[in-house]
Amino acid sequence: MTEFKINDYLLKQEAIEITKQSIREEQEFGFPALEYINQACDGHPWVIYTYKAIMLCAECDTSEGEEYLEDCGIESFESFGDHATKLAYATLLGACQSALCELV
């Protein structure tokens, strides 16, 4: 079994790949890039698997994700795992949105 590794560099690289795919989807099929990004982040293994979400939160800068959750009014969580997965989603989404601004 390989150990999962994550850091800010890997997070940014993954966000760039998701964003490039979203741009291709929009160009080829007319599916909005932001919607694709939202769905890709929502179902991403780093978000849906609690261990990976916790590792992302522990090893990456999550300040943008924390701000996003505050802006959305999400202040309470059912559990530590729930908090980690929501924060991982918000952090990955923010990284993808930043990448989209850079690539377009």
Instruction: Quickly state the pLDDT bin for 75 (edges 50, 70, 90).
Output: confident
**C-alpha span between 33 and 99 (Å, rounded):** 12
CA distance 17 to 95: 11
* CA atoms within 13 A of residue 36's CA, in its CB half-sphere: 19
pLDDT at 1: 45
Task: Find out whether 92 and 11 touch, Cβ atoms under 8 Å.
Answer: yes
Give the pLDDT confidence score for residue 67 in this predicted structure: 97
Residue ranges covered by each domain of the chain? 8-103
* 6 pLDDT more than 70: yes
- Quote the mean pLDDT of the chain: 96
CA distance 62 to 49: 17
Helix (H, G, I), strand (E, B) or coil at 60: coil
User: Is the per-residue pLDDT at 33 higher than 60?
Assistant: yes
Q: What was the pLDDT predicted at 9? A: 98
pLDDT higher than 70, residue 76: yes
DSSP-assigned letter for residue 79: S
